Structure 1
Amino acid sequence: MTKLKLKKHLAVLPKEDVMNLVLSLYDASAEAKMYLEMYLTPDYSAALEKYKKIIRNEFFPARGFSDKPSFATCRKAISDFKKLKADAISLGDLMLYYIELGCEYTMTFGDMWEQYYTTLETNFEKALKHISDHNLEEHFRQRIESMLNSTQCGWGFSDTLWDMYYDYYGCQE
C-alpha cells in the first residue's frame, strides 16, 4: 500500500479507530514503539546510548575479540537511529562515534584490509556531509581534529581522512 492510499484510509477512520491502530502498532513492533516514544517525548540520550553500544560491540565486544567487525551492523544502527528522527547533533555524534571506534580498533589491533579503510572513509564522508548540511562544523571541530590527530595508521588512511576534513572545513594555514 502506498502512503497516499494509507492516508486516504486513515482519513475516513473515526479518531478512536486511529488511536486503537496506533496502540496496536505500538504493541506489535519494538521499532514502532521506540519511534512513537521518541516522537511524543523526544529525549534521544537513551536511544543514542543503545545504538552506541551496538556499534561498540562490533569493534570491542564485552566478551572475546572481534576479528572482523560488521560494518553492516554499524550502518544499520545508524540507520535505525536516524529513523527515530533524531536531532542533527545526536545523529552526528553517532556517525562520528562509528568512525572513532573504527580508528581505535585499527590503533589497537594494527593495520587492516583495504576494504576496512574504504568503508570507514566513506562513512566519515557521510558524517562530514551531515555535519556540514546542519551547520554543526564548530560543534564537532575539536572532536574530529582530536580523532584525526590520533589516527596515524593504514597506509594513507589518515591522509585521506584529513583531506576529507579539509574539503569540508577548509585548510587551516
Structure 2
Amino acid sequence: MRSEVKSKIKNMGLQGSLLQAPAGGTGADLKTTPSWGGRSSPPGLNGDAAGLPNGLVVRRYRRFVVYRVAGFDGVIELVAELLFRVSRDSKGSVVYVNGRKIAALLGLGGTIHPIDLSVIYATMARLGFEVVEVGRGKAVVVSMKHPLIEKIRAAKSIDDVIQVIRRHLGE
C-alpha cells in the first residue's frame, strides 16, 4: 500500500514547484510597448483627456480611476454642463442627481472624487437647489420649474450657461 502511494507521487512529478519567471522569460513585460504600435496602458486608464468636460482631471489609483476637478472655475464649468444636460435630457418635473448619475450624464468612465463631489453639491446648494441625504449618500434635487433651469433651457450653448451661472453666483 505504501509503495502505491510513493509511485503515485513519483508519477505526478514535483509538487509545489511554481515557475518564478514570467511567461515571456526573465524580466519580460507582457504588455505591448508603444514602440511596437501598442498602448503602454489599458484603454480608458491612460489619462487621455479626449471627451472630458473642461476642468476635469483623470487620476489613476491602484484599482480605479477617479476624476478630480481642477479649481473652482472647473467646478462652475462642470455644474454648467451638468445642468445643461439635465435640462435637455431629463423628463419629469424633478430629477435626483447623485454622484453616479453625474458621472453618467457627463459620460465619465469612473467616479468623481468624494471631496470634489461635496464641492459640486455645495455649489448646487448655492445656486438654490436642494441637497438631500438618500440611502448611502447625497443627491441634489433639480426642479425643472427652478428659474435657473428656465434660463439654462433658453441658452444656446454651454458658454451661455456658464455666464448665467456666474451671474447667478455673483462672480
- State the TM-score bracket (shorter-chain normalisation): 0.3 to 0.5
More strand by share: 2
Larger Rg: 2
Larger helix proportion, structure 1 or 2?
A: 1
TM-score (norm. length: structure 2): 0.32
- TM-score between both structures, scaled by the size of structure 1: 0.32
